[in-house]
Amino acid sequence: MTKENENTAQNRSMRNYPDLLTVKDIQDVLQIGRSTAYKLLQSGELRALRIGSIYRIPKTYLNDFINTNS
């Protein structure tokens, strides 16, 4: 699969999610576990917004992470 095809498939799958994703959402999209998701968030490798103790991840941040790490 070419890079362009991967991005198109990624955009199609992301349409089903809200603009602000939860940790569970990023677990589903990235197919990673809860601990790994929190490690990415706490390290700053995956940017996020914090509302109190709750993480919310804008789709654009997740897309940037995927594009940087693919």
Q: What is the mean pLDDT of each run of 10 residues along the chain (70 residues)?
A: 54 82 96 97 97 96 93
Q: ∠26-5-15 over CA atoms, to 5°?
A: 40
Q: Which residues of 15-53 are buried (b: 16+ CB within 10 A; e: fewer)?
A: eebeeebebebbbebbeeeeeebeebbeeeebebeeeee
Helical pair 23-30 and 59-68, crossing angle rounded to 10 deg: 30
Options 3.90.320, 1.10.10, 1.10.3470, 3.40.50; CATH of 3-68: 1.10.10
Q: What is the pLDDT of residue 28?
A: 95
**How is residue 15 annotated by DSSP?**
T
Which helix H or strand E contains 14, and what residues bound it?
helix 3-14
